A and B are shown apart, each in its own frame.
Chain A
Amino acid sequence: MKFIAPILSILLLTAGLSACSEAPKKSNVSEAEKVAGRTLVSDNCSGCHMEAEDGTFSRISFIRKTPEGWDMNIARMMIFHGLEIEPQDRRALVKYLADTQGLAPSETAAHRDILERKHNVIEQGVDPDLAAMCARCHTYARVALQRRDKAEWQNLVHMHLGQWASIEYQMLARERDWRADALGPVAEKLGKLYPLKTTQWTDWQKAEWKDMSGSWYMVGHVPGIGDMGGSMTVKAAGEGKYQTAFNMIFTDDITGAEGINLTGMGKSIVHTGYEWRGTATLNDVKYRQIWAASPDGNRMTGRFFKKDHPEDGMTITAWRNIPENNGIMSIVPAALKAGKATEIVISGLNLSGDISIPGAEVTVKQASDSRIVISALALAGATGPAKITVGNDSAPLAIYLQVDYLKVTPEYGISRVGGGGGPIPKVAAQFEAVGYTFGPDGKQGTDDDVNLGRLPVIWQVDNYSPAAAAMQDAKYAGHITENGTFIPAVAGPNPERKYGTNNAGDLKVIASYHNGTRTLTAEAHLIATVQRWNNPPIM
């Protein structure tokens, strides 16, 4: 009887399997790719990272990372440990490691701002102890975008102690027993927060990683410039690589006027089934893409930025052109002043049907299934939250009588001195002034306030504090353009300044909006600081 039960179970289980009768899923990484990847690891790494009987390589097989994380790892091996590797092998090794020991989409979701090289990011919600331990030198994302067990986190601590002589002596380290804390409770905590084995990763490896080729529609916003709508055509080139072609049209989000047209070609690769990394040359300028695909492979989000100025770029939403993806992706501008005819650009995919704005007259000036240009005139008195409808889809739109207040974004900006004969270029800071109405409750700063989009304002900078005034920061740190771009001054000591200090400054950025007899102002804080000398892919 003891034997019968298991046999029965096996029979039942087999029956169950055949009832599902799904063909076994094709592995996301083919056997040939696995063999080629292992050979690369063996050829380039096994001189130091011994291969065990179970086929694992010491250290390497016990870590998971993003593509950038693996690439930084290889860079460190080259700089500090004399690894010599051909560029194509380095790329192939990153692909193999990111595909077989990567992070699932849900494991990177909270830290994409840093991965996407967004400027002005202040990481939120970081454990203060881990921030003091790790994020005083680099971003917290650099830690949170890795997976290791406690012993491997401890190895990482030992590496830090052996690589950076001052690590225990710096501020926020020297007042604690840094080494004991890092090897003890911190490694323990990291091992629990970010362990090697997770169900997210196991599930993602089992999921079907989609081919990205096809036709895509993109929308995005470039601060200080306007909004973009455009197409990306993707052709598969084998081994997770793609050829791309772009055609983008910009719209000034203040005037609604059509701006520049950006076109060009590029190449992309997909790591880990969803990490889209691209290069493109658009109107003779080199760009980079760091995007992530949704788990179903039909949508992507990320940043498109200039290769030489990662701070200068736009956040993109892209939809694959398939029947399921239909609707409005963006409206520019998304606010309509009552009584004033305004041109509005509606971008989306498979747009069809009637176009209307309740409370406003709409004239269609141009229409395709991805871009519609209308002229809208809201009737006087029809103010408040409204919506724009295209066929079965709709998106929010604000109708307003007057701008009640302004906000400057980002609230806290960073620029960096550069040039001046040095190797590091200036890093500018772009500000925008956004108008708001108080909303139905008539109060500023409540949830019902309505964002009216970017407004034309007059920009100026001033000293942020008495200490900044004493150092005349506003005089020396740089200037702001009519368009809200703060251009920092040159790098290096300035003999004209007190202490001969450089052109750093602590400034406030002031926007003034003149509307008839009223002038609204708003401020942001700008740290005009020094160069970053070390710019790794994950800061």
Chain B
Amino acid sequence: MVKKLIILSMMLWGTALLSVSSAKEYMIVGARPDKLYVIDIKARKVEKTFTIPDSTAPQNIVISPDGKIAYVGTNHLRSIVGIDLESGDVVFRADLDYKDDERTWNYGFDISPDGSEIYSYDIPTKIYLDRFESREPRLSVFKTNGGLEAKPVREFPLPRRIHLLMVAKSGALYAMGWDFYKVDVQTGKYEVAYPLRNWTQKNLSQPDALAFWPSWDNNGIFSTPIFYARTDMAEDNMERFRTGLLTLDLKTEKFDLIDFQSAPEVLFSSVIHPDRKTAYAVYNTLLKIDLEKPHTAKRIDLNHTYYQTDISADGTEVYVGGTTCDVAIYDSTDLKHIGEVKLPNCPDMGATVIRMIHK
């Protein structure tokens, strides 16, 4: 059954891959305080450097479906800035503190499949003269043609502690937090699509995953390392602490949990190979995970910490980036170091995400 699903997924994604096969592949990353880079990844070269006006630390990046605009979350989670990837012009800006009496942080945003709307998870605090009042979080919907002082056109309440939004091919919005929610962006209605805090996995403790990393550009599948304990194993048995990959196929909208090892290391992010047979996960180590067994097939030590891993559309190259100023490139079969891209003047990438585009 699993194999059938994988083959089906490959077939479905094969069409997507074919459509980009003639296009050139680029990586988009940010760096503090205000830089956005377009990297010709196969040429190992920074092709364009843009400056984001009034910016402190780019983090989340969302690319318009036509690959022309990068929407960058910056200003310590308080602004979303749309940058034209050809000209560098600012074509969109939503400063979330637009209400005089509010301070608002964004913990994730994504874009509709037609590119017309941005969905932003916002956490507001009302600021009184002499006190703060923490308010309930909300989904803010912006029109991408909203200009440089964009304001939400719709707002809906959402649960607290959501940290990542992703839009499925169908246009359904998924939000990962205490649970994985599916949100109707028209009505604001949400339901638990996959329980995490109260999951029903037999003999497994409440899981822990704090995912910020969108590594679904070249495979159509969200994945994140997730940690939990086997409650049916002895307390002193270190094997009871487990690492899995939680995945959500953004086409079929099916979730999966793949337990692949105990918990010998910290892992921040993962990416699934387009063939769906292999995955990669990163922090201080880079793992190649055999999803069919499933187990860790290979592990290498990295020369420093990297927050996000991603993969080329053809599945031959694995990328790791974030934390300092380089993107390291590994052969996806044997994890041999095959290249790197250093950002000019070595800026701090911090918690920037990696996006892959084709044009």
Contact = CB atoms under 8 A, between A and B. Distances in A.
B73 to A, nearest CB: 12
A35 interface: no
B163 A158 contact: no
Interface in B256-305: 284, 301-305
Contacts of B301: 498-499
Contact of B123 (A50, A157, A165, A174): A165
A27 interface: no
Interface string B111-136: 00000000000010101011111100
Nearest to A59: B130
A499 B132 contact: no
Interface in B291-325: 301-305
A165 B76 contact: yes
Residue from the set B103, B134, B160, B302 with the largest chain A CB neighbour count within 10 Å: B134
Interface in B205-242: 206, 208, 210
Contacts of A493: 304
Nearest to B124: A162
B129 A499 contact: no
A284 interface: no
Contacts, number: 66
A175 interface: yes
Contacts of B304: 493, 499-501
A175 B208 contact: yes
Interface in A160-187: 161-163, 165, 168-169, 171, 174-175, 177-179
A50 B132 contact: no
Interface residues of A, number: 27
B250 interface: no
Nearest to A164: B105
A155 interface: yes
B77 interface: yes
A159 B131 CA distance: 7
B18 to A, nearest CB: 39
A58 B130 contact: yes
B323 to A, nearest CB: 10
Residue from the set A50, A163, A175, A178 with the largest chain B CB neighbour count within 10 Å: A175
A260 interface: no
A168 B132 contact: no
B161 interface: yes
Given A48-B129, A162-B125, A163-B132, A174 B210 contact: yes
B329 to A, nearest CB: 17
Residue from the set B125, B161, B302 with the largest chain A CB neighbour count within 10 Å: B161
A499 B284 contact: yes
User: What is the size category of the interface that chain B forms with chain A?
Assistant: 20 to 34
A161 B134 contact: yes
Interface string A16-50: 00000000000000000000000000000000111
A92 to B, nearest CB: 21
A493 B323 CA distance: 12
Interface in A49-75: 49-50, 58-59
Interface in A465-501: 493, 495, 498-501
A50 B304 CA distance: 52
A187 to B, nearest CB: 12
Contact of A169 (B125, B163, B302): B163
Contacts of B160: 168, 177, 179
A158 B131 contact: yes
Contacts of B210: 169, 174
Interface in B74-93: 76-77
Nearest to A170: B210
A6 B87 CA distance: 90
A495 B303 CA distance: 8
B125 A161 contact: yes
Contacts of B284: 499, 501
Contacts of A171: 208
Residue from the set A49, A158, A493, A501 with the largest chain B CB neighbour count within 10 Å: A158
Nearest to B305: A499
B134 A500 contact: no
B77 A165 contact: yes
A499 B323 CA distance: 13
B47 to A, nearest CB: 28
Contacts of A174: 161, 208, 210
Residue from the set A58, A158, A159, A162 with the largest chain B CB neighbour count within 10 Å: A162
B125 A158 contact: yes
Nearest to A157: B134
Contacts of A158: 125, 131-134
A49 B130 contact: yes
Interface in B171-220: 197, 206, 208, 210
Contacts of B127: 162
Contacts of B163: 169
Contact of A159 (B77, B132, B303): B132
A506 to B, nearest CB: 16
Given A499-B284, A499-B305, A500-B304, A50 B77 contact: no
Contacts of B130: 48-50, 58-59
Contacts of B103: 162
Contact of B303 (A59, A175, A499): A499
Contacts of B123: 165
A500 B160 CA distance: 37
A168 B161 contact: yes
A155 B125 CA distance: 12
B125 A499 contact: no
Contact of B105 (A59, A165, A175): A165
B191 to A, nearest CB: 19
Interface string A271-291: 000000000000000000000
A151 to B, nearest CB: 10
Interface string B126-162: 0101111110000000000000000000000000110
A48 B129 CA distance: 5
Contacts of B302: 499
Interface string A305-341: 0000000000000000000000000000000000000
Contacts of B208: 171, 174-175
Nearest to B212: A169
B206 A59 contact: no
B326 to A, nearest CB: 11
A219 B284 CA distance: 50
A48 B130 CA distance: 5
A412 to B, nearest CB: 23
Nearest to A159: B132
B129 A50 contact: yes
A466 to B, nearest CB: 13
A64 to B, nearest CB: 17
A58 B131 CA distance: 9
A491 B134 CA distance: 38
Given A174-B210, A498-B301, A499-B304, A59 B134 contact: no
B134 A162 contact: yes
A174 B164 CA distance: 14
B340 to A, nearest CB: 14
A495 to B, nearest CB: 8
A332 B103 CA distance: 59
B76 to A, nearest CB: 7
Residue from the set B123, B132, B206 with the largest chain A CB neighbour count within 10 Å: B132
A501 B304 CA distance: 7
Contacts of A501: 284, 304
Interface in A114-173: 155, 157-159, 161-163, 165, 168-169, 171
19 contacts: A59-B130, A155-B132, A158-B125, A158-B131, A158-B132, A162-B132, A162-B134, A165-B105, A168-B160, A168-B161, A171-B208, A174-B208, A175-B197, A179-B134, A498-B301, A499-B284, A499-B302, A499-B305, A501-B304
A-B pairs with the 5 shortest C-beta distances?
Answer: A162-B125, A162-B132, A161-B134, A500-B304, A158-B132
Given A50-B129, A158-B132, A177-B160, 7 more contacts: A58-B130, A158-B133, A162-B103, A162-B127, A171-B208, A174-B208, A501-B304
